[in-house]
Structure 1
Amino acid sequence: MTTSSLDLASLLCSRLCHDLLSPVGALTNGLELLAEEKDPVMRQKCFELLEQSATASANKLRFFRLAFGAAGGFGEMVPVAEARALIDALVAANPRITVQWSMADETLPKSAIKTLLNLSMIGIEALVRGGVLDIAGEVRAHGASGAGLASELVIRASGPRIAFDPLVAQALAGTLPLADLSSRTAPAAMLFQLAQGLGGSFQTHVTADALVLGAVLPVR
C-alpha cells in the first residue's frame, strides 16, 4: 500500500472533523436552547451541556494535535505524562472504560508517542461495551548485537465485546488496498508509514474479548 502525503493528510483531516462533529454540534444545540429557554433550571442544564461539549471538543483537539500533527515542534523526546493526560482525558467521558498504565520511561521518542496515542485510540474504539485498556511501553536494547534501541509498545483492550475492523489491521501491516483507504483506516496507514521509515513493525491479535496491538520502533 502506498499513498501520497496529500491524500493521507486529507483523510486524517476528515477523521478529525468526523470526531469533532458531535461535540461541536452539541455546542450549537446548547446555544440555540439557551437563547430560547427562560426557565432558570433548564438554562442551568444548557450551561452544563455547553461545558461538557466544550471540554470534549478541547480534549479531542489536543489529542489529535499530537496524534496526527506536529504539536510541540519536532523535538526528539516527548514526556509520557503528556500522552497519558491526553488519553485519560479522552476516556474520561466514558465511565465504562478503565485505563491501566505501565510505562517504564518518563520520555519516549515522538514517533513512539504518536504511535501510542493512535494505537490507544484504536483500542478505545474497540471497547464498544466498555472494558479495560492496558497501556505498556519501554525502550529496550534492539538488534542482533543489542547495541541499538527500540521503543516497544503494547496496548491491550479487553471487554465483553471487541469491535475491530480487519481493514485497520491490514493498514497497520501495509497490505490495505488503496481502494479501502478511508478516514477510519487513515491513522493506521499513517502509523505504517511512520514505522516503515524507522524499520519498525506492528503485531495484531484479536479474539472475541481482547485486542492486542504491539509495536517495535527502532530509535534513530
Structure 2
Amino acid sequence: MTDAAFAAPLDTLAMDGPELASLIAAKLCHDFISPSGAIMSGLDLLADPTAQDMREDAIGLITDSARKMVALVQFCRVAFGAATTAERFTGDELKGLVDGVIAGGRATLDWRLDVADFGKPQARALVNLAYLTAAALPMGGEAVVSARVQGDRMVLEGRAEGARARLKQEASTGLAGRRLTEGLAGQWVQPYWLWLTVDQTGGRLDVEAVEGRVVLTASMPS
C-alpha cells in the first residue's frame, strides 16, 4: 500500500469521526506493511532450502523488523488510540515510544522535559509533536523537544533546525487544522490529528516554518 492508495481529496468531505478514523487506519496499514513484509521475507528465506547460507541474515531481518513492528504498535496506541488503562505517562515512557519508531532514521531528538508526568491528551500531543519534529529533518540532524509548565498551561515544543529542515505542504495544512484539498492524505492525517488533539483540550498549536527551521509549539491546559 502506498500513500497514493488513500490520497483522495478531502475538501468535499465532512471531517466526522468515521472518515477521520478511516484515514488514520489507512496510515497505520501503510506504516505497518514495511516491517510486516520484511518479517515475511525473512521467514521465506528460512523456509527456502537453497538459501540456508543466508540463515543468519534472515534471522537478523526478522528480529529487526519484529522490533520495529512492536515499537510502531506501542507508539500508535498512545499517538492515535486510547493507549492502555494508564491515565498518566512519565516523560521517560513517552521518550521511549518516540525513540523506538525513529530509531535508524537520519534525525535524532534531544529531550528536555521539565514535566514529571503527562495526562493522556498531553501525552498524545507530545509523541505526535516529537515524531513530526523529527520528520521535519529528512536529511538528518538533531532536533530539540521540550515540555514545561507555565501557570495552568503545559507548553510542548519541537524545534528542528538544519539546512534542509522543512514541512511538506500536506503537513502544514493539517497543522493549521484545515482539510486537505490536494496532495497525499497519508502526509496530512497525523499533523491534523495533532492539531485536533490540542484543539479539543482548549489549547493552541503554533507553527513556524521558515528556511532551515521548523518549530511546533502546543499550549494546553496542564
Any idea what the Cα deviations from partners look like across 1:129-149, whole Å, max 9, x if unmatched? 1111211011221xxxxxxx1
CA–CA distance in 2 between the matches of 1:181 and 1:193? 18
Hey, what does 1:61 align to over in structure 2? 73
How far did residue 192 of structure 1 move?
2.4
Partner SS, residue 171 of structure 1? helix
Could you state the TM-score of these two structures normalised by the residue count of structure 1? Answer: 0.87
Match for 1:132 among 120, 127, 142? Answer: 142
Identity among equivalent positions (%) equals: 29
Distance apart, 1:183 and its partner CA = 2.9
Q: How many angstroms apart in 2 are the aligned matches of 1:38 and 1:44?
A: 14
Question: 1:158: how far off?
Answer: 2.4
| Cα distance in 1 between the residues matched to 2:51 and 2:45 | 11
Structure 2 gap ranges (5+): 1-10
- Of 105, 117, 122, the residue aligned with 2:132 is 122
| Between 152-161 and 128-137, the greater mean CA deviation after superposition | 152-161
Give the TM-score taking structure 2 as reference length.
0.86
Residue 116 of structure 1 and its aligned partner are, at CA, apart by: 0.9
Given candidates 23, 26, 40, the residue that maps to 1:28 is 40
Corresponding residue number in structure 1 for 2:3: none
Structure 2 counterpart SS, 1:183: helix
User: How many residues are aligned here?
Assistant: 210
1:181-218 C-alpha deviation (Å, 9 max, x unpaired): 82321122222222222221111112332211110012
Structure 1 segment 10-159 matched on structure 2, within 5 A: 10-38=22-50, 41-73=53-85, 75=87, 77-94=88-105, 96-141=106-151, 149-159=152-162
Q: Would the aligned equivalents of 1:100 and 1:134 in 2 still touch at CA under 8 Å?
A: yes
Which whole-Å deviations, capped at 9, do the CAs of 1:158-180 have from their partners, x for residues lacking one?
23312411332222222334676
**Distance in 2 (alpha carbons) for counterparts of 1:166 and 1:201:** 20
> Which blocks of at least 5 consecutive residues in structure 1 are unaligned?
142-148
Contact 2:199 2:205 in 1 (8 A): no
Q: Equivalents in 2 of 1:181, 1:23: separation in Å?
A: 22
Between stretches 126-135 and 61-70, larger displacement belongs to: 126-135
How far apart are 1:19 and its partner, in Å? 0.8
TM-align CA RMSD: 2.1
